[in-house]
Structure 1
């Protein structure tokens, strides 16, 4: 048994391997385009950009880049692709004509809502397999993992 941890080494290795498999599955999912309503097939980066813009109002281009943790150039390329699919629109920011405001079109809002529904359905399926106590532990673990990965 490891003196620094109350778990046997084989339990730690099992958890480490399970976490590795989870990350591989998530990476695989992140590469596959999916269909979100009438918006058609969208890559994960496109739908996550739509999610970051949100249905209410809009977001400044530089705030969007910060929110997604990418460069302004990368966001600009994503916005061009989403404009071509008629999911977002650019407009001048009323308080600063140099700033660009990005907002969702009606079609973009449909994609946003369809994406939200995917999340709700996934979580409902998960809840059906776990007890309330397991859900609370799961959510706490996810929060701690996110916190750890932010460092």
Structure 2
């Protein structure tokens, strides 16, 4: 049997993680403005973010990186094409493969999202030391691993 203080700490920690997850879910329900790209959902900006790192990516790789089905990626990319943020092209050497790449509007959304992330990080760094941020980032990685199980 665990001492009462450990059990209490465990419940409080679990409640904190629960509150964090609920806050993230709440943020995930809203669309946000990303420069000239206009209003984008979190799912859409995640697609843009994933493409933006390399400039273009195979649709199958995009699905694998995001941990979703190819069908889900196709639906999101179609929405982003309609918003003129993403374009699809055939792969040069593999006729079965399709590449997704950012348009100019998509690149602007990517940069706006990067700026938003940097602003959040800057705000966080005013409240946490570099060591606390490193621990926080390590904890996020471990929480993500547990959530994938």
TM range (shorter): over 0.9
**Structure 1 counterpart of 2:120:** 122
TM-superposed deviation, 1:7 = 5.4
TM-superposed deviation, 1:62 = 1.1
TM-score by length of 2: 0.93
**Structure 2 counterpart of 1:36:** 34
Aligned Cα RMSD in Å?
1.7
Q: How does 1:92-103 map to 2 (within 5 A)?
A: 92-103=90-101
Distance 2:17 2:59 in 1: 34
Distance 2:34 2:148 in 1: 29
Q: How does 1:48-127 map to 2 (within 5 A)?
A: 48-127=46-125
Unpaired stretches in structure 1, ≥5 consecutive residues: none
TM-score by length of 1: 0.91
**Structure 2 counterpart of 1:2:** 2
Mean CA deviation greater in 132-141 or 85-94: 132-141
Unpaired stretches in structure 2, ≥5 consecutive residues: none
